[in-house]
Amino acid sequence: MYILNKNCQNHEVEQLIEICKSSSMSMGYKLRTAHCQLGEIIAEPISKSSNQQKNYAVLILMRAGLCFGIGIADKLEQLGSNVSIIFVNDDKVSSEDLELTKDKDVIIVDAVINSGKSVFGLIDQIPDVNSIKLATTVIPSSSTELFEGYDLYTVRVSNNKYEGAKVQFISAGMGPDTGDRLFNTYN
């Protein structure tokens, strides 16, 4: 497991992480920009760990993974890779999109991985790929053991774990949904 804030300790990364935390209540443009920038930063270690071909299929779980995933894909292209971007709705990959994953390193991107249900559901759908990497902005420490043996890249590991909901404050195991914060859709 690669943890960005343990491998890249600098003021910029720390500031971006603070913006992304639910407790910051950062929303909209500021949060989307932070997710995109963190995606660009974490793309470099992803690229360094990949095969010589540098052909990727980036599967972005919609909608919370959008900005982070675009940051990853854009930086990989800047680094000279070929990148196909696949938007995943309702945790299903179409047969046409599965064709785009053949002979590529697949990167599954989600803003937050809690139980891993969505990610493991996608892994089960993807046959015949070079490798599968997982990328997220945050994973609870209690869930990291689920991903032993997987190539996981995360911005940070949190001691907190709660379910995203249409709430504005963390309470009773519920917290602000990342997608709602990214796109200002609490109403």
Q: Which domains occur in the chain, in start order?
A: 2-183 (3.40.50.2020)
Consecutive H or E run containing 40? helix 28-48
What's the average pLDDT block by block, 10 residues per block, for the chain (187 residues)? Answer: 89 95 90 98 92 86 96 97 95 92 93 91 84 94 92 92 58 71 82
Could you give the CA distance from residue 113 to residue 34 in angstroms, rounded to a whole number? 18
CA–CA distances in Å: residue 28 to residues 67, 97, 120, 185: 11, 29, 29, 9
Could you give the CA distance from residue 30 to residue 84 in angstroms, rounded to a whole number? 26
* Contact by Cβ (8 Å): 185, 168: no
Q: What is the pLDDT of residue 55?
A: 92
* Contact by Cβ (8 Å): 106, 59: yes
Q: What is the pLDDT of residue 187?
A: 63
Q: What is the pLDDT of residue 175?
A: 63
Q: What is the pTM of this model?
A: 0.92
Q: What's the helix, strand, coil split of the chain in %, to 5?
A: 45, 25, 30
Q: What is the pLDDT of residue 24?
A: 87
Helix axes 28-48, 66-78, angle to 10 degrees: 40
Beta-carbon-side half-sphere exposure of residue 39 (alpha carbons within 13 Å): 30
Task: For residue 13, give the nearest of 23, 2, 4 by alpha carbon.
Answer: 4
